[in-house]
Amino acid sequence: MSLRLRLTILYSALTGGILLLFGILLYALVSVLFIKQVDDTLRQTFQDILTNTRVDSVGELNVISMPQLDLTANVYVQVWDSEGRLVTSSAGIRGLSQPLDPTGLQSSMPVYRDHYLSGAHLRVLTVPLVVGAEQRPIGVIQLASSLSFVDSARTILLQIITLTAVLSMIIAALASWFTIGRALSPLAAVTQTALNISHADDLSMRIPSLTSENDEIGELIQAFNDTLERLERIFTSQQRFLADVSHELRTPLTVIKGNVELMRKMGCSDEESLSSIEEETDRLNRLVGDLLLEAQAESGKLPLKFGPVELDTLLLEVCKEMRVLARERVQLKVSDIDQVLVNGDADRLKQVLINLISNAVNYTPAGGEVVLSLGKVGNQARLIVRDTGPGIPAEDLPHIFERFYRAEKSRTRARTGGFGLGLSIAYWIVTHHGGRIEVDSKEGEGTTFRVWLPLLASPEPAA
């Protein structure tokens, strides 16, 4: 059963239920009012008869006259004595010898009862007559009024309520079917778009906004489109990831295979070939290590052991190691350094420094320089790595922290041998230390990276 049909049935049943409840209350109210009106007529007629009823000296009833009964065509009266004999009755039932309500004759107090007599529905008021202080019974008066009019009115009212409820349910069903159909029509577009994406494998498709974005359907469409956009980015990134990994693995494997074949043909171990194999093997190890680190970072399983870290000492240590990489080709120097203490993982922060400085050294041409500085700005530590390389094109700057992304125009694979994972890993580490990385670059003027990390709050000195 479709959602549209279920909602239509629900709204129709709700409408019918409300009208049914209203009809029951209306039916009960009208019935009570009609019966009350009949009871008031019977009681008033009894009062008129009582004023014209006398008891003789021996305790017998003596009904003088009942003029009001002649004027009340719908009220029937019977007067019974204490012996159960019919004393008198109204003109309309002179030929009736049986009580209007046999059960009511046994009552010792006034009582209203509904009774069927020869198929006629009557409302009967039975009132015992007593005299004296000892409340001696001398007879019974029964007054009856036909309820045929009340029954007819209630039957007509019931038919009207039933017909109204049925018609209202039909109208509600049609209106609900049409309204719900229009409200749910964007969902059909969502379903169709999802099916088209599934069949065509095209994540670039989007659902057109058929309604206001302020309602629930509009929010659903917006959320679905955002999900599709994110899936498209992930899928594109995955495709690029597979292509880049395949490319990165193919090159060292080709070199290793070629050297092995050369060594097999020559029948000797060539030191140059062994060195090349060793270099390519190290390169593969670095790639696998970076990939594993990246996967752990994305899955949230990369542990960070926080503790006090002397960032200035760590920078000098990394700078000493990087001088071996720079050799005489690039001048690596520290222009300004301050004592800085942060809360972080020393190994991961060292990895950030190595990635940034090695990139700067690799991308700086011979004769250039890489300048490092470390200082405090407010409650944050600021590390600056500036090089005099070719710079990064403006269109590449927003993407340099993405996995496997490199600005190929100015930074070639052949020269650097990198994998495009260093900046992505550095960005993740700095972000999870509560800091941020900024980059400024212009083509032909070099690149500057700034790393901001929160300082470790030092305890107040004792007085």
* Per-range mean pLDDT, top range of 57-71, 90-104, 159-173, 235-249: 159-173
- Let me know whether 239 and 346 are in one domain: no
Is residue 181 in a domain? no
Distance CA 270, CA 352 (A): 37
Q: Residue 433 carries which side chain, given as an amino acid letter?
A: H
Please give the pLDDT value at position 210. Answer: 62
Please give the pLDDT value at position 311. Answer: 93
Cα 284 to its chain centre, rounded Å, is 47
- Where is pLDDT greater, at 262 or 70? 262
Structure tokens at 424: 């992505």
CATH number at residue 26: 3.30.450.140
Number of domains in the chain: 3
Q: What angle do CA 257, 261, 265 make, to 5 degrees?
A: 170
Please give the pLDDT value at position 379. Answer: 92
CATH number at residue 394: 3.30.565.10
* Per-range mean pLDDT, top range of 138-142, 162-166, 454-458: 162-166
Q: Is the pLDDT score of 59 beyond 70?
A: no
Q: Is the pLDDT score of 438 beyond 70?
A: yes
Cα 16 to its chain centre, rounded Å, is 30
Q: Residue 130 carries which side chain, given as an amino acid letter?
A: V
Closest CA to 341 of 319, 315, 320: 315
Half-sphere exposure of 388 (CA within 13 A, CB side): 12
Distance CA 390, CA 272 (A): 32
- Let me know whether 240 and 133 are in one domain: no
- Let me know whether 271 and 371 are in one domain: no
Structure tokens at 360: 């700067």
- Let me know whether 343 and 432 are in one domain: yes
- Let me know whether 358 and 424 are in one domain: yes
Please give the pLDDT value at position 292. Answer: 67
Is residue 203 in a domain? no
Check: CB of residue 169 under 8 Å from CB of residue 72. no
Torsion angle of C-alpha atoms 212, 213, 218, 222, degrees rounded to 10: 140
Choose one of 233, 268, 299: the last residue of a domain: 299
* Per-range mean pLDDT, top range of 43-47, 55-59, 88-92, 340-344: 340-344
Closest CA to 222 of 202, 238, 206: 206
- Let me know whether 313 and 441 are in one domain: yes
Please give the pLDDT value at position 55. Answer: 63
Q: Is the pLDDT score of 39 beyond 60?
A: yes
Is residue 400 in a domain? yes
Please give the pLDDT value at position 297. Answer: 63
Helix (H), strand (E) counts: the chain: 9, 14
Residues 426-430 have a mean pLDDT of 88
- Let me know whether 220 and 285 are in one domain: yes
pLDDT (tens digit per residue) in 377-426: 999 999 999 999 888 888 888 878 876 565 544 443 334 444 456 788 88
Residues 46-52 have a mean pLDDT of 79
Is residue 404 in a domain? yes
Burial of 372 (0-12, 13-18, 19+ CB in 10 A): buried
- Let me know whether 55 and 23 are in one domain: yes
Structure tokens at 116: 């069927």
Torsion angle of C-alpha atoms 46, 49, 50, 55, degrees rounded to 10: -140
Choose one of 253, 280, 299: the last residue of a domain: 299
pLDDT (tens digit per residue) in 70-96: 444 578 888 888 778 888 887 777 778
Burial of 403 (0-12, 13-18, 19+ CB in 10 A): buried
CATH number at residue 252: 1.10.287.130
Residues 8-20 have a mean pLDDT of 89
Please give the pLDDT value at position 403. Answer: 64
Check: CB of residue 127 under 8 Å from CB of residue 46. yes
Is residue 462 in a domain? no
- Let me know whether 355 and 253 are in one domain: no
Please give the pLDDT value at position 309. Answer: 93
Is residue 424 in a domain? yes
- Where is pLDDT greater, at 4 or 278? 4
Residue 207 makes CB contacts below 8 A (sequence gap 6+) with: 186, 189, 190, 193, 221, 224, 225
Is residue 332 in a domain? yes
- Let me know whether 252 and 330 are in one domain: no
End-to-end CA distance of the chain: 78
- Let me know whether 381 and 276 are in one domain: no
Choose one of 299, 329, 351: the last residue of a domain: 299
Residue 88 makes CB contacts below 8 A (sequence gap 6+) with: 63, 77, 78, 79
- Let me know whether 294 and 331 are in one domain: no
Is residue 21 in a domain? yes
Mean residue pLDDT across the chain = 79
Closest CA to 290 of 406, 425, 427: 425
Range of the domain at 112: 3-154
